[in-house]
A and B are shown apart, each in its own frame.
Chain A
Amino acid sequence: DAKTTQPNSMESNEEEPVHLPCNHSTISGTDYIHWYRQLPSQGPEYVIHGLTSNVNNRMASLAIAEDRKSSTLILHRATLRDAAVYYCILRDGGTYKYIFGTGTRLKVLA
């Protein structure tokens, strides 16, 4: 199974940037890196995905290491509504299966 490693939890102050790391040393050359987040009592929500280059959208930025063995999700200004579990996800090589880990629980302090 494709494996990602994330810290169990992180804290941030409101209005400050947050950098959420993910290690994926077994990633294959064609696998995209996906990030989803999950608020309490809801299904996961798409955040961003990328292959090699850094990516930006209205929600976040994704910085991908040159060797692609790690990536960082960047929330530029954390708000209380960003408090969630953030999952870094890879597809299991050669399958259709996306593997979630246990994710990082982000706590945003007012």
Chain B
Amino acid sequence: DTGVSQNPRHKITKRGQNVTFRCDPISEHNRLYWYRQTLGQGPEFLTYFQNEAQLEKSRLLSDRFSAERPKGSFSTLEIQRTEQGDSAMYLCAGGTHYGYTFGSGTRLTVV
């Protein structure tokens, strides 16, 4: 148990459909990150929350991507009108200024 749970573990969707992923950190995790990782690459930053406030979002992220963290608890990442290039592992990390714990990720395949 890493303390950060992500659901679903796998998602296959047709191009053009919307998908939503969920991340559940532990209650002590006031900070939360979303990253995206493609095969052979390191994780790429998507967005950062401190409590419920989204303080930073990657410039590379298109407006098809949106994330929320209501009440500073769980977080959701939605991708609208999915494209094949969105196929990747989506990782969530929760933590404090002492350090971060990653979840096992949601693997998205867009067909």
Identify the A interface with B (CB < 8 A). Answer: 36, 41-46, 49, 85, 87, 95-103
Contacts and interface: CB of A to CB of B under 8 A. Distances in A.
Interface in B58-73: 58
A102 B102 contact: no
Interface residues of B, number: 24
B33 to A, nearest CB: 7
A102 B40 contact: yes
7 contacts: A42-B104, A44-B102, A97-B48, A97-B56, A97-B58, A100-B43, A100-B44
Given A100-B42, A102-B42, A44 B56 contact: no
- List the 4 shortest-distance A-B pairs measured between CB atoms, nearest first: A43-B102, A100-B42, A96-B48, A97-B45
B61 to A, nearest CB: 12
Given A45-B102, A102-B41, 20 more contacts: A36-B102, A42-B104, A42-B105, A43-B2, A43-B93, A43-B102, A43-B103, A43-B104, A44-B43, A44-B91, A46-B99, A49-B99, A85-B42, A96-B48, A96-B55, A97-B45, A97-B56, A98-B45, A101-B42, A102-B40
